[in-house]
Structures are given as C-alpha cells and as structure tokens.
Chains A and B, each alone.
Chain A
Amino acid sequence: MSSSDIRVRLRAVLARKRVEEDLDDELAFHIEMQARKNAAEGMSPREAVRLARIQFGVGDTAKEECRDARGVQMFDEFVRDIAYTFRNLRRDAGFTTLAILIAGLGIGASTTVFSVVNTLLLRPLPFTQPDRLVWIGNVAVNSVGEWALQVDHVLDLRNQTRSFADLQGYFDFSKPGDSKLTGEGQPVSLTGIQVSCGLFPLLGVKPVVGNQFTAEECKWNGPGAVLLTYGLWKTRYASDPSIVGRKLIVNDSPVTVAGVMPEAFDFAAVFKPGAHYDLFMPFPLTEETNKWGNTLSTVGRLKPGATLASAQAEFAILAHRIASQHPERNSLNPTLQSLDEHVNGRFRPALLALACAVGVVMLIVCANLASLQMARAATRQKEMAIRVALGAGRGRLIRQMLTESMILAGLGIVPGLILAVAGTSAFAHLQSFNIPLLSSVRVDSEALVFTVALALLTGLVVGLAAALQAPAVAIHETLKDSNRGSNSGARRHNVIRGTLVVTEISFACVLLVGTGLLVRSFLRVLDVTLGFQPESTAAIRIDPGQNFPDQSARDTYLNEVLRIARSTTGVSAAAITDTIPFDSGEVSWSAIGKGQVLPPSQYPEVFIRRVSDGYLHTAGISLIAGRDFTANDTPSSPQVAIVNQTYAHTLWPGQNPIGQVVDQDGGRRVVGVVTDTRHKALEQAAGNEMYMPMRQRADLNGIQLVVRSSLPPAALASTLRAALKPLDPNLAADEFRTLQQLVDRAASPRRFIALLLAGFSTFALILAALGIYALISYSVSQRTQEFGIRRALGADAFELQGQVLFQTLSLAAIGVVIGLGASWLLARSLTTLLFGVTPTDPMTFASMIALLGAVAMAAGYLPARRASMVDPMTALRAE
C-alpha cells in the first residue's frame, strides 16, 4: 500500500463529510463549465444548464463510483451495518438490555476468574528465573505433615550438592506483632521475619534503597540490621531515602536500616498467604540456630542443567549419608517441589475447576444469546425477506447478523468490566483468605486483552449460530407466509433452538453437580470434629513489653495476667498458651517414649504446646484420661506432659499411656490424654501433639492469652487491656482473634470456591430457565391457532397445559440425562477437591435433578398457562 493510497483511504474514513462536499463541488464545477460552453455555442442560459446536466449523466452513479475509487467500500458498508444495528437495538430496548446484561455477566465472571487464574497460575512467580527455584521440604516419618530443615543439614546439603547453586531459607516461626518498635513515640508492634542472608539474592530481589544484608550482619550476635518493606517505608517514614543507616530500636535492641525492599516484592503473598510483614531481619545459619531444631524453610536455585528429578535423587543419597554421619541431629528426609508448585499447587485443581466452570457459564451465555438472537430473527423474518428481495446477498445478511451480535457482545464489555473490576478488588481485599498472591489480583492489561478477545469470540459464536438459520429464509414463502408455524423453516428453527436449550440445560447440570459436590465437601469440612470448641473463645497476644531477667519473673507476670483475666467480668475461663490452632509458627520436635529404641531419623514428630493450667478447659479440649495441668506444675515439681490420643497410640499402642514417660527434658511423665485437635488444616488429622506446663519451660514461643467469654471480642479487648495496663504499660494494642475466625480462615479457600461456584451455578440456572421460557413461549405463540381450535373442539385447559409442560419436561429431561452423563465422567477430576463426599455422591446427583426439574417446570409454567387460556375466537380471528 503506497502512502497516497493510505492517505486517500484515511481521508475517506476520517474526513468523510469534507471529501463528499469536495466531490459535489468538483462535479458541480464540471457541469457549470459545460453549461458555459453550451451557452457560448448560442444556447439560452436555461437550456445550456439543462443540456449540461443531461450530458453529464446520472450524477449519483458517478459519485458512487468515485466513492468506490477511494477503496473503502467494505468499511462504508460496515459503518452502515453498525448504524443499522444501533437503530434496531434501540427499537428493541428490552431485548438489547437483556442481551447486554447476559453478555456482561458472563464476560465479567470470566474476566474476574481469568485475572485470578492468571495471577495465581499462569504468571510466573515474581522472582528471577522462577522456574529454577525449588522448595525443599522435610517430610516427617511416622507423622503427618512437612517440616522445616535443621540449619546444619541445610549447610551440609549446600556444601555437598551438585544440583543447586545455592540453598537459603527463612525462619518460619514469627507471629504477628513479634517485633516491637520503640524509641519513636508510641511503641508499635510490627511483624518481622528472619531470612537467611542469601535468600533475597537467591530469589533475585534487590532493595530499591540501600543494600542487602552484609556477611557481618548475618553472624550470630552480629550488628543488628533490618530491611524494611516498601509499605512500612512509605507509611511510617514517608519514603525518606535517608532512612538507610538510621538506627531503630526493635525488641529493645538497636538495629540499623540496611535498605528497603521493592514495592512489588510481597514476601507474605508468596510464602505466607494471609500474613503481613513489615521487617526482614537476618537469620544466622550458625551452630546456635542449629540447636533450635527444624527451623529453616528452605528454597534452592537449581544450577543450569540440573532438573528437579536429578536433584531429588541426589538429595536422597546426600540425606542418607548426612543423617548417618550425624545421628545427633533431627531427621532429614528432603522432598523437592518446584517453588511454583509449592506456592500454587494446592490451589491448582480448585482454580482449574473454577476456570472450567466459568468456561461452561460462558458457553451457556453464548447458547442463550444465540437463542435470543434467533427468536428475534424469527420475528424479523419478513424484514429479512424484504432485504433479500431487494438484493441483499446471503453473505450480506450473515455479516449483518455477525455485526449485530458483535456489537451486543462488545457492549457487554462495559458491564462486564465493571463487574470484573469490582470482583477482583473484592478478591484482593479478602484478607482473611489463605490464598497466595490473591492480594495482587486486579484487572490488568492482559485481562483487558482477554476481555476484548472473549467479547469478540462470543459475538462471533453467537452471530454464526444465529446466522445458521438465516439462509433458511425462503423469500416468497416468508412473504406470503401467514405465520402458521407449519412450514419447514419454523420447524428447523425450533429444532435448532431446542438443541441450544438442551445444551444449556446439560451445561447447567454439569455445573450444578460440580458445585453441589464442592458445596457438600465444604459443609463436611465445616463439620469435622475440631477437637476444641472455637465458639466464644478468643485469643490475644500479650507478650510483655520488656524482657524478663529470668523465668520466675516471667512466671510472676503470667500468673498475674491469669489472675486479672480470670477475675474480669464476663470471662468464664482464661489460660495461656504459646500455640493456638490454625495459626502460623507451629513448633514440632521429635521425641519417643523412654526406653524405646529407634534411630533418630525414625523418631515421631510431635507438635508442641506449652500451656498454663486451665487451657484444656478454656479451649474446650476434652480430657479423656488423667488430669489437666495445675498451677502446681512448676520447675521444681516432677516434669509432666499431656499427650493426644494419636501420640499415645504412636508411642504406646495398646497400653495405658498414663504414667508412661516421654524421653524429653530428661523424662516427662504423662499425666493426661486428650482428644486430637485439628490445627494445620481442617481436612488434615492432628498428628502427634504434646502439651507441657508452661511453668516447666523457659522457652515460650509467643504468649497468647485465651479466654472464654460471652462478651463481644472488641469489648473484651478494651476491658482486658485496661485491666492489664498497670501490669505492663507497653502492652501492644492487639485485637482479639476469636478461634472461630481462625477456623473460618482455614476454611476460606473452600468457601471462596464454593461461593464462586454457587454464584456461577445460579447464573447458569437462571439462563437455562430463561432459555426454556423463551423457547416454550415462542412455540406456544406459534401454536396459538392450534390451541384455539383444540379448545373449540372441546379439549380442556388442563390437558393443553399438561401437554406444554410435558414438552418442557422432555426438553429438560434430555438436557439432564446428557448433563448427568457428562457430570458422571467429569466429577472424577474433582476428586482431589472433595472431602467426605464421593464424586458420584447420589445425594448431590439426585438433588440436582430435582432442582433442574423444578426450575424447568417453573420456566415452562407461564407459557403453559398461556396456552391453556387461549380463547378460541381470538385465536381464529387473529389471522
């Protein structure tokens, strides 16, 4: 295309009016000149002009050909089609609104799910070469779950591996409000997390201001340093770049600000969804931290050429060797997973299910729009026929149909995007949801491209489906047709629309069954025996503002806290623990029964709870045998422990655990057995649990005050804070978290999926009902005369009504049978998402059949009633 070509075409399109005026002007000039010439040859002026016009010929033809010469004829036709479509749509405002809403809801739902899926599944993790990053877990023998690694194990693995360029990790035992920042006015509790020095370089994340931790800062008792998150830097320090090098007081020790991490770096979103961090501190990999046990959550970067499988094979060998060389260490059983799989893998099946569900919704939307378009086309058959008679080709009509459905779908983008923006921002703000990266979900440019492409595709599919019947319009037949509904065109129309409706019903059926299974799983999960009673129980962190000189000072403080809490009005029970269920930072040790002989790598892992007397009662954990701790279980009294049923069974199967001794702290005698409590995931059994009296341990892993009260948590918090103020003026202003909130949070991913699917299913059901209703109404209106005659011949209203309902139900039945078959096959793929429900759960299938049947009946009832009310006289006179 030459430049002049482009210029002419562009001008023809952009300066259309101007170009047309110029053409008129040019041709007028020509006639004028011709008239002049004629006059010069002796004609009268009037005659001269008349002849000039005749000589010129039909002006419009010339003009039309000049327009063609501009090469934008297709475009002009397109513009005319659009104008025509808009005129039509405006005339049919009801249909237009409905169609745009349907398309909009479908597009909105799809774009929302696309944004979520894109952020969580499709987009790589926000690190350098994320596909080379590997999560190294430590799978427990004789217990459930996965643990962190012991520091020396990581150091040995790092030294010996040929597969990894580096291994780094973080200390996953921080809790919200762990880091108290003082010396800048009111003390604030911030949340910090300790990372090994090379973790950020390994991930490929650099501070935007300042530097990574230095080797010196990573030593044990090295100079204190922190990296700030962007959020803290912005809100607390007004993005002051001179912050680097400033001294802060964190937990009573001076630390220097090393730098600020980038805004896009959301550590919590990837590694600890739902958590929030303000500070990063160095975690030294030294013999001191090695003593702390399995503390390092480990990430590695594969060397070029190494694969996950080869690294796994190498680690199996290395782990065996290291473990046999160091029997004194904790068990080591490294299992490797790509980091992406570790972060998102849990949610992949659920998200895929969501993506499929929204795909099904979109198909139903298309079927519905196509059916609506066809219904409209049927009422416009005469118009179409006239256009054909006037010379519009079949292609031209199809193009017109396509333009129309494209415009409808395109207009659907508007409500769709509004819905998607609202939907994604609602998701991003679901902070109680335990799903990685959810907070960064938004409608971005990729989502916009997706939306537009989806709308175009929808328009294309709908337009083509509707155009299927356009050629069926036989001109003369239609023009003379008295609309008796007996011609083949109408029959074909009904068959196509019937197929569309059956399709809608079967898709809706698949969606409903899937949703039903997942909703039932969700209900089953909510129904699990927790082992504790979350109702009206709440916990609050009460870590004291100062460090205690020794354990007895700490115990004095804790005793005082307990006394105050228990005497507060409205509190029926209070206790202290360092671990509450479904909270982060659980500690586990490996411990066996005294006298048992096992290699250390075979020791069972047990979750540790250090609690005060009364904790079991406060949390509602039932004591099965023996006794609870008392205030008299002190450092000077015999060392005791309470175990859960699973641990009792693991260590002493078939024996009475009471009186047995756990080989811990020189031997702890078991004084009680309690029920298992779920604590990691609702779906996951408790595993081994051991309770120790807090007064017999110096190392509490955070201090949680747990109270049972009928008061609302907010009121309780202020009452308790006021009561505790004299004891500790620096107590951070935390809020109570009810245990129910923690349980809900654990259930949140399932709730998320169940809610979304329920929403989609409802929408699908409404669309299917609409489809049935529209089709049955149409066929009833076509058969008005027939019904009239039959009424006149004595058929009773009830019989006619029954017949129409039967027609409805048979459509629904076909759809349901197909849908059930498909569900039967597809439900298997949901197995990983189900809990306590089989993929072929008869209850779910039966209730969905009943639901669809009822909806079909309801949708068919109105037209059926109309059929039975047909007045014979009116029907016969209508022609």
Chain B
Amino acid sequence: MSDVNNMNLLQGTLDLLILRTLKTGPLHGWAISERIQQISQDVLQVNQGSLYPALHRLERKGAIAADWATSELGRRARFYRLTAEGKRQLDLESESWHALTVAIGRVMKLA
C-alpha cells in the first residue's frame, strides 16, 4: 500500500487520476478515493488531506463541477462530475501520460 502523496508522483497525477475516475460518471469524494484504491488494487491510497483540496482546486479551474445530491445512504453528499473542459483536459493529459510512461519504460529497459 502506498499513499499517492508520499510516492512523490509527478505533479498533477492525482488530478489526472480524479479526472479519469470521474469519466464513468459523477461520484462523491469518498467514492473517488475508494475507486482509485480498488482499481489500483490497493497500491494507490488517496489521502483525504490531499483529495479534497485537489477536488476544490479542480472545481475552481473548471475541470469538474460539484452538485449536492442524495447519496446511496439517503444522506446529502457532494457529487463531482467532469465538465466539457475536464474531458478535454483528461484527453490531453492521458495522452501525454501515456507518452511519458512509454518513454520512461524504454529508458528503464535500456538501463
């Protein structure tokens, strides 16, 4: 298990993970962190202390939008969804992420 924040991942990685997670549909903060954890098979664990500031920052940038809605427990929760701008950003960044990992992979193989 490792914490996204402690892994010194490239800046913006958490943002990218959040955007990708939201591609399938609106989720609240807890669900986002659970989803990332599950899919990464517990490798990536998102610290709430980073998750929420990141969500708020993305909201300010206009990549995601938030609405209050009733959660599966029947309680009010804040659901985040991708905006058009967010989709565009996700496309751009996943492409460059892909290019980056391929490049790093090549270097690692050679070395």
Contacts and interface: CB of A to CB of B under 8 A. Distances in A.
Of B31, B50, B59, most buried by chain A (CB within 10 Å of CB) is B59
B60 A5 contact: yes
A3 B78 contact: no
B52 interface: yes
Given A57-B47, A66-B56, A69-B56, A29 B30 contact: yes
A55 B60 CA distance: 27
Nearest to B78: A26
Nearest to A28: B75
B23 interface: no
B60 A9 contact: yes
A22 B78 contact: yes
Interface string A25-40: 1110110111011000
Nearest to B56: A69
A3 B60 contact: no
A73 to B, nearest CB: 12
A72 to B, nearest CB: 10
Contacts of B88: none
A2 B28 contact: no
B53 A66 contact: yes
B60 A4 contact: yes
Nearest to A58: B49
A71 interface: yes
A26 B53 contact: no
Of B33, B34, B62, B65, most buried by chain A (CB within 10 Å of CB) is B62
Interface string A13-50: 00000000011011101101110110000000000000
B89 to A, nearest CB: 12
Given A5-B62, A29-B77, A33-B30, A56 B48 contact: yes
B29 interface: yes
B29 A30 contact: yes
Given A22-B78, A69-B53, A30 B62 contact: no
A65 interface: yes
B72 to A, nearest CB: 9
Nearest to A5: B60
B95 to A, nearest CB: 22
Interface string B53-90: 11011011110010010010101111000010000000
A26 B29 contact: yes
Nearest to B53: A65
Contacts of A61: 49
Interface string B8-41: 0000000000000000000011110110000000
A490 interface: no
Nearest to A27: B52
Contact of A29 (B28, B49, B57, B62): B28
A57 B33 CA distance: 14
Of B52, B57, B71, most buried by chain A (CB within 10 Å of CB) is B52
Contacts of A55: 48
A4 B59 contact: yes
B9 to A, nearest CB: 17
Q: How large is the interface on B (under 10, 10 to 19, 20 to 34, 35 or more residues)?
A: 20 to 34
Contacts, number: 77
Contacts of B57: 69
Contacts of A799: none
A70 interface: yes
A36 B83 CA distance: 30
Nearest to B58: A69
B60 A29 contact: no
Contacts of A33: 30-31, 73
Contacts of B50: 65
A25 B76 contact: yes
Interface string A236-247: 000000000000
A61 B57 CA distance: 15
A3 B62 contact: yes
Nearest to A8: B60
Contacts of A25: 76, 78
Contacts of A69: 53-54, 56-57, 60
A37 B33 CA distance: 13
Contact of A57 (B49, B75, B76, B77): B49
A68 interface: yes
Contacts of A56: 48-49
Nearest to A56: B48
A349 B34 CA distance: 80
A55 B53 CA distance: 17
Nearest to B72: A33
A62 interface: yes
Contact of B59 (A8, A30, A57, A62): A8
B19 to A, nearest CB: 15
A62 B75 contact: no
Of A25, A33, A68, most buried by chain B (CB within 10 Å of CB) is A33
Nearest to A62: B49
A71 B50 CA distance: 16
A203 B83 CA distance: 63
B52 A66 contact: yes
Given A26-B78, A62-B49, A4 B30 contact: no
B61 A29 contact: no
A70 B60 CA distance: 7
Nearest to A68: B53
Nearest to A26: B78
Contacts of A30: 29-30, 33, 48, 52
B53 A29 contact: no
The 7 nearest A-B residue pairs measured at CB: A4-B62, A69-B56, A65-B53, A33-B30, A8-B60, A69-B57, A62-B49
Given A3-B62, A8-B59, A26-B28, 19 more contacts: A4-B83, A5-B62, A22-B68, A22-B78, A25-B76, A29-B71, A29-B75, A30-B30, A32-B75, A33-B31, A34-B30, A56-B48, A58-B49, A62-B52, A65-B50, A65-B52, A66-B56, A68-B53, A69-B56
Interface of A: 2-5, 8-9, 22-23, 25-27, 29-30, 32-34, 36-37, 55-58, 61-62, 65-66, 68-71
22 contacts: A2-B61, A2-B62, A4-B60, A4-B61, A5-B61, A22-B78, A25-B78, A26-B52, A26-B77, A26-B78, A29-B29, A29-B75, A30-B29, A32-B75, A33-B31, A36-B73, A37-B34, A62-B49, A65-B49, A66-B53, A69-B53, A69-B54
